[in-house]
Amino acid sequence: MGASAKIAPSMLSSDFANLASEASRMLRCGADWLHMDIMDGHFVPNLTIGAPVIESLRKHTTAYLDCHLMVTNPLDYVEPLGKAGASGFTFHVEASKENWQELVQKIKSKGMRPGVALKPGTPIEEVYPLIEGENPVELVLVMTVEPGFGGQKFMSEMMEKVRVLRKKYPSLDIEHNHENPVTVLVDGGLGPSTIDAAASAGANCIVAGSSVFGAPEPAQVISLMRKSVDEVQQNI
Ligand code: DX5
Ligand code: ZN
């Protein structure tokens, strides 16, 4: 048995003016996590939300808030996001070359789950030290579009990174007990037409914005994506 499927709608595609009700709608539709895209207008050419919004949303839900930090200085966000009630803190490897060890330690000390993300142009080898270190990350987010905006086209050539990662860490367990395979998350352009490629490459956590929020029945899209991941992971 491989890793469990996690379907995480990207709230970037939600109606931000009704964030709490959009969040509960997604949970009713079967979402496991809520993916929160935090952008600083510097690391990426877009500006979204930060800790104050996470804090407000936290008052309305106990859901796992999977925060994706597309920011130049992730260290500055650890304390505020920890206080705000974030669950996962995934920073970009391109923004943490100097201080990832300190960053991971601090994220854990604030009770959040550390993850590392990489842009399409970044080789997968760059995240190995973060998975193998003494204080490892627990999730790897493989960007399947250029970070910054929802609604872009899935880059299928990124599946090679997912395959390589799964092969290298078939059931890498950071807690040393084989019950917790590394979470491999894909983000960007996922939906009914691309899910099989991602699932068969070994991704178990699927972020999807426009395909879920744009669907007349988001629950159907979520359950279809879950089925695709489960089918692959059950045979591992
Ligand atoms: C892009 C974000 C994604 C985005 C995904 O920078 O990281 O989470 O919202 O949206 P879709 O599924 O529309 O590509
Ligand atoms: Zn994201």
Question: What pLDDT is attached to residue 141?
Answer: 96
Flag residues of the chain having pLDDT under 50.
172-180
CB 82 within 8 A of CB 111: yes
Q: What distances in angstroms separate CA 105 from CA 114, 121, 205, 213, one per listed residue?
A: 9, 27, 23, 35
Look up the pTM and report it: 0.96
Q: How far is CA 228 from the centre of its chain?
A: 18
Pocket test for ligand 1, best of 210, 222, 225 (most atoms within 8 A of CB): 210
For the chain, domain boundaries: 6-233
What is the structure's pLDDT at 177? Answer: 36
pLDDT at 124: 97
For every residue of 96-131, DSSP letters joined together read: -TTTHHHHHHHHHHTT-EEEEEE-TTS-GGGGHHHH
pLDDT computed for residue 170 by the predictor: 74
pLDDT tens-digit map of 160-179: 999 999 888 876 443 333 44
Q: What is the pLDDT of residue 167?
A: 86
- Number of Cα atoms under 13 Å in the Cβ half of residue 164: 13
Q: How far apart are CA 121 and CA 105, in angstroms?
A: 27
For residues 222 and 30, the answer to whether their CB atoms sit within 8 Å is: yes
Beta 205-208 vs 6-9: how paired, if at all?
A: parallel
Q: Is residue 4 helix, strand or coil?
A: coil
- Cα separation of 41 and 59, whole Å? 26
Q: How far is the CA of 98 from the centre of ligand 2 (A)?
A: 23
216 CA to middle of ligand 2, Å? 22
CATH for the stretch 6-233: 3.20.20.70
Euclidean distance between CA atoms 226 and 203, whole angstroms: 11
List the beta strands (DSSP E) in 25-169. 33-39, 64-70, 88-92, 113-118, 139-143
- Does the annotation flag 148 for ligand binding? yes
What pLDDT score was predicted for residue 3? 81
Residue-wise pLDDT for 123-163, tens only, equals 999 999 999 888 899 999 999 999 999 999 999 999 999 99
Give the pair of three-digit tokens for residue 4.
Answer: 């469990």
pLDDT at residue 1 in the model = 66
Name residues whose C-beta falls within 8 Å of residue 145's C-beta, 6 or more positions apart in sequence: 120, 152, 153, 154, 155, 187, 188, 189
Q: Which atom of ligand 1 is nearest to the CA of 146?
A: 6
Say which residue the tokens 């996962």 belong to. Answer: 88
Q: What are phi and psi of 93, to 5 degrees?
A: -65, -30
Pocket of ligand 1 (CB under 6 A): 10, 12-13, 35, 37, 68, 145, 147-152, 187-190, 207-211
Annotated catalytic residue 187 = yes
Quick one: how far is CA 47 from the chain centroid? Answer: 18
- Taking the centre of ligand 1 as the mean of its atom positions, its distance from the CA of residue 4, in whole angstroms, is 21
234: left (phi over 0), alpha (psi -120 to 50) or beta: alpha
